[in-house]
Amino acid sequence: MNQQKLVIALTKGRILEEVLPLLEEAGVIPAEDINQSRKLIFYSNIPDVQIMVIRGSDVPTYVELGSADIGITGKDIIMENGSKGYYEPLDLKLATCRLMTAKPINQSETPKRLRVASKFVNIAKAYFSQQGQQVDIIKLNGALELAPIMGMADLIVDIVDSGKTLKANGLEPLDLIAEVSTRVIVNKAAMKLKHDQIQQLLQRLEAAVK
């Protein structure tokens, strides 16, 4: 029986660097050096497996719409996107960090209605709603630490790794929203139609993680 084409969507940047050796251990090796190329789609050593390299925030969309069968991206992206149209079967335990709220170090009291700056708008809304806290969300795509400094926000919701960037900008981590790591997501239709292929790859990835 002919194998069907399997498309894996990978996330550019730090996750890509950490995932490539894991994929190699699972038996999937790009046919050329991804880091030396401007191409977005690559063949692999397995004739029916292709690798796509895109922005992490786009991975869930490609998987949800079926353009990619499997995606590898951060839990933060999955939480922000919502998980319609795909399963999340595996935690690769790579690129671990925390999604947290943070506030200015010298902030003594917080107003009743908070202004919160974040690129994770949906996560922030859901989190503060669970806390019963009224907030105004300000969407920013980067340099969130500036928002409290410039008096634009009372808190931020962001990824915290070592916490050094926060400290350097007069902020401190406050509440943990979620532990973040790299996850594998699989298109629901592909899981049915290409079950054996996908299951084999997931098992090899899981073994590589262990």
Please report whether residue 61 resides in a domain.
yes
Mean pLDDT, 10 residues at a time, the chain of 210 residues: 83 93 95 90 93 95 96 96 90 95 86 92 96 95 93 95 91 95 97 95 94
Share in percent of the chain as helix, strand, coil (round to 5): 35, 30, 35
pLDDT at position 1? 44
Please report whether residue 185 resides in a domain.
yes
| Residue 156 near residue 147 (C-beta atoms within 8 A) | yes
Tell me, yes or no, whether 60 and 110 share the same domain: no
Tell me, yes or no, whether 188 and 108 share the same domain: no
pLDDT at position 2? 55
Residue with tokens 């950490």: 18
Looking at residue 113, which CATH number applies to its domain? 3.40.190.10
pLDDT at position 130? 95
Provide the residue range defining the domain that includes 90: 6-95+181-209
**Into how many domains does the chain fold?**
2
pLDDT at position 136? 97
Please report whether residue 1 resides in a domain.
no
Tell me, yes or no, whether 10 and 91 share the same domain: yes
pLDDT at position 85? 87
pLDDT at position 30? 94
Q: Which of 35, 32, 11 lies closest to 92 in space, CA to CA?
A: 11
pLDDT at position 111? 78
What does pTM read for this prediction? 0.89
Tell me, yes or no, whether 84 and 140 share the same domain: no
What strands, in cross-sheet order, belong to the sheet with 171-180? 135-139, 114-118, 155-160, 97-104, 171-180
